[in-house]
């Protein structure tokens, strides 16, 4: 007899996590073109990279008509009360409403209920769900108690989720979820999960590793069925994460451990066609994935540095062309190096829009280097510290003066001793 699984009602603008194989939240590897690539190859949902609440607060939402994207930007103040007018804005988060909007989960780094709500309100109308990061073990995430640091403060984590459910889920009609790691013992994990599913969330993702574990260590799935059972009794969807290789593997694990969904990270970073089933032809060659990725990156005018980083993840290290990617400083050079002649015209256009010189890279970087070099030369040519120079001149002048002999300074020199400063054996008079 099969036990009927209770379901929390799916919000009108939210998503059901059940039966889904999804892209994990990954810093750098989860930016917009990577998410579009995963959806292209069949991902059911995509998580954005962790974005810290304080970074979002104060941003301005802008529509980029040329790329059909929406971005949240802010100017770097560098400690100043008012940012300079000529300071370029930084993109904190961006998305493609048409291609990913209803399949995009915004993941937030937070350790404060009020800040979490304030940040979520800025993006909630554009995404399908808000996810709280309570699993990332990296220093940039756990400082100030965020990420996996929240596993040590379960009451605070619950208060954050409750605040988001009350203020965001109700107003924007989207789901709130959380991503955690397993704890050292099943009893600790059980106690935590029971608290979390009582907050009103619609989904819980469990990474089957403890906080100290690293990706090279195999996932531990012994607690997975227990977590899934607790979620099901509360009507919350349970998604598993950790060493999921592809869609077929994810579906197999979902059946084996009773979870509702599976999340892919590392394998999707290397080749997003892992979201295809074997029945659909399975994974495609990395060269095809690279070409598709570059098309998406240029379509949304992705920051070139991030594009090159992702290419080094997709292109196998043993491939002859791998080493040739590192010196490339532009989309044009990337396409030339990879032999993508059909994309060259588009690459030149994107380089121009991004202010990138095909040979030397971003023009602003070149200008900054030239300006720094010029300023350095000007400092060299000037006397920046007249006082120090004057003091130095006086010392030099003093050194040029004839020094008095030891005897003239009231020091008696033993007979036969050479008058060498600092070495003479002296007898006080």
272 and 292 share a domain?
no
Its domain, for residue 51, covers 20-79+88-277
User: What number of helices (H) and strands (E) belong to the chain?
Assistant: 18, 16
- Position 425 in a domain: no
115 and 178 share a domain?
yes
**pLDDT of 176 strictly over 90:** yes
Higher-confidence position of 384 and 108: 108
- Position 360 in a domain: yes
The helix (H) or strand (E) run that includes residue 266 is helix 266-270
> CA 401 to CA 234: how far, in whole Å?
92
193 and 110 share a domain?
yes
Last residue within a domain, chosen from 223, 251, 277: 277
180 and 253 share a domain?
yes
For the ranges 76-80, 135-139, 310-314, 382-386, which has the lowest average pLDDT? 382-386
- Position 5 in a domain: no
217 and 305 share a domain?
no
Mind listing the pLDDT tens digit for each residue in 226-284? 999 999 999 999 999 999 999 999 999 999 999 999 999 999 999 999 999 999 999 99
- Position 155 in a domain: yes
311 and 330 share a domain?
yes
349 and 258 share a domain?
no
The SS3 call for residue 240 is: strand
User: Which residue carries 């979870």 as its tokens?
Assistant: 259
Asked if 282 contacts 52 with a C-beta cutoff of 8 angstroms, the reply is: no
Active site residues: 136
Asked if 223 contacts 189 with a C-beta cutoff of 8 angstroms, the reply is: yes
303 and 356 share a domain?
yes
Number of domains in the chain: 2
- Position 164 in a domain: yes
260 and 240 share a domain?
yes
> CA 372 to CA 375: how far, in whole Å?
5
> CA 317 to CA 206: how far, in whole Å?
31
- For 117, 124, 241, the CA distances from 101, given in Å and listed in that order, are 20, 11, 23
Q: Which pLDDT score, from 0 to 100, does residue 119 have?
A: 98
Asked if 34 contacts 313 with a C-beta cutoff of 8 angstroms, the reply is: no
- Position 350 in a domain: yes
The helix (H) or strand (E) run that includes residue 322 is helix 322-325
**pLDDT of 405 strictly over 90:** no
**pLDDT of 55 strictly over 60:** yes
pTM of the model: 0.83
The CATH number assigned to the domain holding 52 equals 3.20.20.70
Mind listing the pLDDT tens digit for each residue in 185-225? 999 999 999 999 999 999 999 999 999 999 899 999 999 99
267 and 138 share a domain?
yes
Mind listing the pLDDT tens digit for each residue in 98-114? 999 999 999 999 999 99
Mind listing the pLDDT tens digit for each residue in 289-322? 999 999 999 999 999 999 999 999 999 999 999 9
């Amino acid at each position: 007899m099969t036990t009927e699984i209770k379901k929390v009602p799916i919000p009108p603008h939210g998503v059901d996590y059940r039966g889904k194989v999804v892209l994990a939240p990954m810093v750098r590897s989860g930016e917009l073109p990577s998410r579009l690539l995963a959806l292209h190859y069949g991902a059911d949902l995509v998580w954005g990279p962790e974005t810290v609440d304080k970074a979002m607060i104060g941003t301005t939402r802008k529509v980029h008509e040329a790329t059909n994207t929406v971005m949240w930007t802010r100017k770097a103040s560098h400690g100043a009360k008012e940012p300079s007018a000529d300071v370029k804005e930084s993109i904190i988060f961006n998305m493609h409403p048409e291609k990913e909007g209803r399949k995009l989960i915004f993941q937030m780094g937070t350790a404060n209920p009020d800040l979490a709500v304030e940040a979520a309100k800025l993006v909630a109308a554009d995404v399908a769900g808000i996810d709280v990061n309570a699993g990332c073990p990296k220093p940039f995430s756990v400082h100030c108690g965020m990420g996996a640091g929240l596993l040590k403060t379960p009451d605070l984590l619950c208060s954050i989720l409750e605040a988001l459910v009350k203020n965001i889920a109700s107003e924007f009609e989207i789901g709130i979820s959380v991503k955690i790691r397993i704890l050292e013992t099943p009893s600790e994990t059980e106690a935590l999960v029971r608290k979390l599913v009582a907050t009103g969330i619609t989904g819980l993702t469990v990474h089957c590793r403890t906080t100290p574990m690293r990706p090279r260590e195999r996932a531990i799935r012994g607690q997975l069925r227990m977590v899934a059972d607790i979620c099901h009794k509360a009507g919350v969807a349970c998604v598993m994460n950790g060493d999921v290789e592809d869609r077929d593997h994810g579906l197999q694990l979902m059946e084996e451990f009773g979870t509702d969904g599976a999340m892919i990270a590392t394998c999707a970073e290397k080749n997003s066609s892992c979201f295809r089933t074997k029945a659909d032809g399975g994974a495609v060659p990395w060269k095809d994935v690279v070409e598709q990725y570059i098309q998406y990156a240029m379509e949304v005018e992705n920051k070139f540095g991030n594009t090159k980083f992702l290419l080094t993840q997709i292109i196998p290290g043993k491939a002859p062309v791998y080493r040739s990617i590192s010196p490339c400083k532009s989309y044009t050079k990337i396409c030339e190096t990879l032999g993508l002649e059909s994309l060259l015209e588009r690459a030149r256009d994107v380089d121009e829009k991004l202010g990138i010189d095909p040979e030397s890279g971003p023009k602003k970087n070149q200008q900054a280097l030239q300006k720094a070099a010029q300023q350095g030369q000007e400092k060299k040519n000037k006397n920046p510290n007249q006082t120090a120079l004057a003091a130095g001149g006086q010392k030099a002048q003093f050194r040029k003066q004839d020094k008095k002999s030891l005897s003239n300074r009231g020091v008696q020199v033993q007979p036969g001793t050479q008058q060498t400063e600092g070495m003479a054996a002296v007898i006080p008079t």
